[in-house]
Amino acid sequence: MKIAVAGTGYVGLVAGVCFAEVGHEVVCVDIDEAKVKKMKKGISPIFEEGLEELMRKNYKAGRLDYTVDFKAAYRKADAVFIGVGTPEQPDGSANLSHIATVARQIAESVEKDCLVVVKSTVPVGTNDKVEQFIHDFLINDVKVEVASNPEFLAQGSAVKDTLQAARIIIGTESKWAEDILKKIYKPFKLPVVSVSRRSAEMIKYASNDFLALKISYMNDIANLCELVGADIQDVAKGMSFDERIGSKFLNAGIGYGGSCFPKDTKALEYLAKQHGYDLRTVTAAIGVNSVQKTLLFKKASKRLITFSGLKVAVLGLTFKPGTDDLREAPSLDNIPLLLGQGAEIFAFDPVGAGHFAKKFPEGRNGKGSISYVKDPEEALKNANVCFIFTEWDQVKKLRPKDFKKLMRTPLVYDGRNIFGIKDMIKAEVEYHSIGR
C-alpha cells in the first residue's frame, strides 16, 4: 500500500522504515530540508540500533523516500500516519498544535479516499476532533476517516519493538478503517487488538502509566529498604517469581525519564482533573519520581561539606542506555545542582554528550565547569566523587578496583545499582546505591 508518514522522530521514522521493510511503499514527511537530505543518504537523525541499516536498505530498494513536499506525499496515499510530537505544556496537558497542522495539510492535499492514522500519543477523544478538523478543511470530495494506532516502542530497541511487537492496537469507528489497518499490518504477522478509537487512546496512556507506577513503587520500596536494612535487589528477585507481578520494571534507581513516562503520566493526570477526577495513583508516581531523581545528590551533600572545587565524575547523561535522548534524564536535574555549588564536572556518555553540550557548553557554567571525556576512565582520573546516572556497557565493564585505582577519593554514588556492595567494600570503595 502507499503510505505517507508525517514526522521523522522516534515514532514517525521508525514506523515508516518498518512499513517499508515489510513491503509497503512509504514516504516520510518532514519540514526540515537539511534533515531530509541526510535521511536520503541513510543518516538517521536519532540514535537507534539497526535503524540506519534498514533506512539504507529500503531507500535503495525504492520502497522508502523522504520529502518536505507534503502535498505530493499525501495526495495519492492510501493511508497517512501522523507521528509528530505532542510535547508537554506547563500545566501537564499535551500540545496538539503539530497534530492540527498536519491534519489541515492532509485535508487540503488528499485527492482520493484516505485513512488518517494517529500514532502520536494524544489525550482520549483527540482523534474525534482530528477527524472533524480534517472534514472542516477538506477540499476534495473524498472519504477520510481517522483511526488510532498508538506506538509502544522503547527507545534503544524501537526497531525490534515495532517489527516484533507484543501486539498491535488499532482503534477505529468503521469496518472500512479497520480493514485497511489490518491489511497494512498483515505482513507483520503479529496479534492485532481492534477496539474503538477512544479505547485505543486510553490503552496507550494506561499501559505507559502502569509501567511508571511500577517503577515508582519499586523506588519507594527501595527507599524504605535502606531504612529497615533490606536489599531491594533481593526483594525484587523474590517478587519476580510471582507471575502476577513479573520480572520487568522491578529495578530500583533514580527514576524514570525519556519522552513517554514523564509526559504521559502528567497528561493522564491532567485529563482526569479536567473530568473532575483525582487519579491518585498516577499523581503519587509523579511525586515519587520527582524526588527520586536528586536522591543521590542529596545523599552526597550530607556526606560532603561542598562540591566547590571538587572534581566530579559523571558517568552517563542520557535517560537510559541505547539512546541519545536526554528528555527528563536525571542528569538534567543533577548537573545544574553540582554546577551551582562550583563542581568541576568531567562527564562521559558515548552518544549523548553532544546533545548535552548544547545545553551545558564545555567550560565554565556559572560557579562550576564541565568537560566531556571519551571514556569512563578519563572521567574517574583523580576524581573526588563519582555519580553514575546511566548504565552504559562501558560503565558496567568497570571493575571495583578501577574506582580505587583511578579516583583521588573512591567515593561512588550509583543510581543504577550496577556493582555489588561486597565487591566495592573489598576494593576499599565507599559505595552508595539505591535501596541497598
Q: How far is Cα 107 from Cα 122, in angstroms, rounded to an integer?
A: 19
Which residue intervals of 229-375 are DSSP H helices?
Answer: 232-240, 261-274, 280-292, 295-303, 330-340, 353-359
pLDDT at residue 92 tops 90: no
> Rounded to two decimals, what is the model's pTM?
0.91
Amino acid in the structure at residue 429: V
Half-sphere exposure of 28 (CA within 13 A, CB side): 35
Assigned CATH for 203-292: 1.10.1040.10
Residue 419: per-residue pLDDT: 97
pLDDT at residue 302 tops 90: yes
Helix (H) or strand (E) holding 113: none
Q: How far is Cα 218 from Cα 231, in angstroms, rounded to an integer?
A: 12
The CATH class of the 295-432 domain is alpha beta
236 with 250: CB under 8 angstroms?
yes
3 state DSSP class of 147: strand
Intrachain domains 2-195 and 295-432 with the same fold: yes
Give the position of cell 511503499.
25
pLDDT digits (tens, 9 = 90+) for 261-281: 999 999 999 999 999 999 999
Average pLDDT on 270-299 reads 96
312 with 385: CB under 8 angstroms?
yes
Q: What are the DSSP E strand ranges found in 110-150?
A: 114-118, 144-148
Report the catalytic residues. 260
pLDDT at residue 400 tops 90: yes
Residue 155: per-residue pLDDT: 86
Q: How far is Cα 219 from Cα 255, in angstroms, rounded to an integer?
A: 7
Q: How far is Cα 222 from Cα 296, in angstroms, rounded to an integer?
A: 13
pLDDT at residue 197 tops 90: yes
Instruction: Give Cβ neighbours of residue 301 (< 8 Å, ≥ 6 apart).
Output: 307
pLDDT digits (tens, 9 = 90+) for 208-235: 999 999 999 999 999 999 999 999 999 9
Q: How far is Cα 202 from Cα 425, in angstroms, rounded to an integer?
A: 47
pLDDT at residue 299 tops 90: yes
pLDDT digits (tens, 9 = 90+) for 42-59: 999 999 999 999 999 999
Average pLDDT on 2-26 reads 97
Half-sphere exposure of 406 (CA within 13 A, CB side): 20
Per domain, the residue ranges of the chain are 2-195, 203-292, 295-432
240 with 247: CB under 8 angstroms?
yes
Q: How far is Cα 171 from Cα 199, in angstroms, rounded to an integer?
A: 7
95 with 88: CB under 8 angstroms?
yes
3 state DSSP class of 99: helix
Q: How far is Cα 327 from Cα 202, in angstroms, rounded to an integer?
A: 23
pLDDT at residue 259 tops 90: no
Helix (H) or strand (E) holding 392: none
φ and ψ of 18, to 5 deg:
-70, -35
Q: In the CATH hierarchy, which fold is given to the domain comprising 2-195?
A: Rossmann fold (3.40.50)
Instruction: Give Cβ neighbours of residue 131 (< 8 Å, ≥ 6 apart).
Output: 116, 144, 145, 146
Average pLDDT on 59-88 reads 96
Q: What radius of gyration do the chain's Cα atoms show?
A: 24
Residue 418: per-residue pLDDT: 97
Say which DSSP state 77 is in.
Answer: -
Cell numbers representing residue 153 in the block: 516502542
3 state DSSP class of 22: coil
Distances (CA, A) of 309 to 66, 330, 334, 379, 407: 49, 22, 17, 15, 15
Closest CA to 282 of 264, 269, 263: 269
Average pLDDT on 158-171 reads 96
pLDDT at residue 239 tops 90: yes
Cell numbers representing residue 175 in the block: 469496518
pLDDT above 70 coverage of the chain, percent? 100
